[in-house]
Amino acid sequence: MSFVSTMIKRGESSEWIQKIYTTFKNKPFTCKAITRKIPQFKKSMITAMHNSNVIKLLNGKRRAIGMSKKNPSVWVFTTEALCVLKDFNG
């Protein structure tokens, strides 16, 4: 079982991932957009999701460096995560 499917199917992290997926599906999103729509979201979850390949940066870079309000980091679900989420959400 991959890190992605483990993270999506287990524990508190799976609830956050499901909420984000339900809100954004396969559209790009920013951390600010998540916290606006899901106020109780823990920002540290973005790092955990990135490290386990659930999400990736839209610009294809490995790390979000030098991002500003004008130029925020934009995230999308990885292909593997989308496959697991679609199966999981029927």
Tell me what pLDDT residue 52 has.
93
The predicted structure's pLDDT at residue 21? 96
pLDDT of residue 27: 95
- Domain 3-89 has what CATH class? mainly alpha
Closest CA to 33 of 64, 62, 76, 4: 76
Is the full-model pTM beyond 0.95?
Answer: no
pLDDT at 87: 85
Q: For the chain, 90 residues long, give each residue's pLDDT as a single digit of tens.
A: 688 999 998 888 999 999 999 999 989 999 999 999 999 998 889 999 999 999 999 988 888 776 677 778 899 999 999 999 988 776
- Looking at residue 85, its pLDDT comes to 93
Report in angstroms the alpha-carbon separations of 54 from 3, 34, 71.
8, 15, 22
